[in-house]
Amino acid sequence: MFSYSDEELMKQIVNGNLAAFSLLYDRYAPTVMEFGLRLNLETAVAEQIVLETFWTVWQQADMFSGKLTPFPVWLRRLARQVSLNNFRNNIVAASHQGDGGMQ
C-alpha cells in the first residue's frame, strides 16, 4: 500500500482534497487527542481540541510549506494554540458567570 507523506497530503488539502484531509486526520488525531489528555483536559474538551485543531489545519493548509518546519511540529503548534485559546475562553466565560455577565 502506498503511503503519502504529510507534505504531499497538505498539498492536496490546499486543493480541497477531503480524502487527503481524512488520511491526515486519521494519522494524527490520536496524537492531538493524547496531547489534550496530557493537559489534564476532560475527554470532551480534548475531543474539541482535536476538532478545532484539524479545522485550523483545513483553513490554514496554504500556510504550511514544510520547508522550515515538519508537519508534526506545525500541527503541535496549532494544537497548543487551540488549547491556549480554549483555556482563555473558559476563563473569560467563568469570569462572566461569576459577575452575572456584567462588565
pLDDT in tens, 9-54: 999 999 999 999 999 999 999 999 999 999 877 899 999 999 999 9
Record the pTM: 0.83
Q: Which residue in the block uniquely carries the three cell numbers 488549547?
A: 83
Q: What is the CATH number of domain 6-98?
A: 1.10.1740.10
Distance CA 75, CA 35 (A): 11
Q: Are 35 and 79 in contact (CB under 8 A)?
A: yes
Helix ranges, the chain (H)? 6-14, 18-38, 43-59, 71-98
Q: How confident is the model at residue 67 (pLDDT cuts 50, 70, 90)?
A: confident
For the ranges 24-33, 57-66, 84-93, the lowest mean pLDDT is seen at 84-93
